[in-house]
Homo-oligomer: A and B are copies of this chain.
């Protein structure tokens, strides 16, 4: 997906929220904002939004000297998510359609996204959870995905945010043992999950873990490691979580199942859906027969 002009105010907001969190030094904050605004003013709108997101957060990290401004927020959110996990597992266990419930819980976790808002309270997460358990899935990919998971030989699951990955655990647990790989980011960017966050979330108990070698808040294939790209092209099923991964992979050269909650007007415009909709969207390359 290309970057829309309507993304530009949001880039500025993201930069401001990020540098406010990372530094209290007014001169540093000003330098970051000037550099970010100048970068946005010259950006290539044919690239997906996370390409600019990566540039913004590189500027923030470089100018503040803080390699991971969201580290504290990520741990706090992960602890909260882990506290909720037994309840989530209970919901799946008591569901008439456990896989459907696990899918919904995974998508609900997508609310814990600091590129959209830098504050997140437990009641807001629980409200999103109930909302996701109630509302219809758009795009009809859910049944398709459910039908194929059980017999799949290899599944690559592209994680989105720290803490959100705790909400992915019930879903990952229902996939065939030993055939699931979860890919996280190569290094910290916003609150995207890294190997460290995956460890804290206990993901190693339900899947093999790799990182994608990239610091882009999405999956920009050209920024990923050759090893990751190889796994991406070989996996029988690719499941992608969240907006950043959608924005970077919507035109990917292979089939991808996108799981997301529509959280901004621009994504809604691109997907033809409404704010807050939950979707399992199976995308295939143009011209593909699958």
Q: Which residues of chain A have a CB within 8 Å of any CB of chain B?
A: 5-6, 8-13, 15-16, 20, 26, 29-30, 33-38, 40-42, 45
Contacts and interface: CB of A to CB of B under 8 A. Distances in A.
Contact of A41 (B20, B26, B34): B34
Contacts of A5: 16, 26, 29-30, 33
Copy tally for this chain in the complex stands at: 2
Nearest to A7: B16
A15 B8 CA distance: 10
24 contacts: A5-B16, A5-B26, A5-B29, A5-B30, A6-B16, A6-B20, A8-B12, A8-B37, A9-B9, A9-B10, A9-B12, A9-B15, A9-B16, A11-B12, A12-B12, A13-B13, A33-B41, A34-B41, A34-B42, A37-B37, A37-B41, A38-B38, A38-B41, A41-B41
A23 to B, nearest CB: 11
Contacts of A42: 34, 38
State the majority secondary structure of interface residues on A. helix
Contacts of A10: 9
A124 B38 CA distance: 37
A270 to B, nearest CB: 15
Given A33-B41, A37-B38, 7 more contacts: A5-B30, A6-B16, A9-B9, A11-B12, A13-B13, A37-B40, A41-B41
A114 to B, nearest CB: 15
A3 to B, nearest CB: 11
Closest 5 CB pairs of A and B: A37-B41, A9-B13, A9-B12, A38-B41, A12-B12
Nearest to A38: B41
Contacts of A12: 8-9, 11-12, 37, 40
A38 B26 CA distance: 20
Contacts of A29: 5
A280 to B, nearest CB: 31
A11 B11 CA distance: 12
A233 to B, nearest CB: 34
Contacts of A33: 5, 8, 41
A237 B100 CA distance: 67
A30 B40 CA distance: 11
Contacts of A35: 41
Contacts of A37: 8, 12, 37-38, 40-41
A9 B30 CA distance: 13
A36 B29 CA distance: 20
A70 B251 CA distance: 38
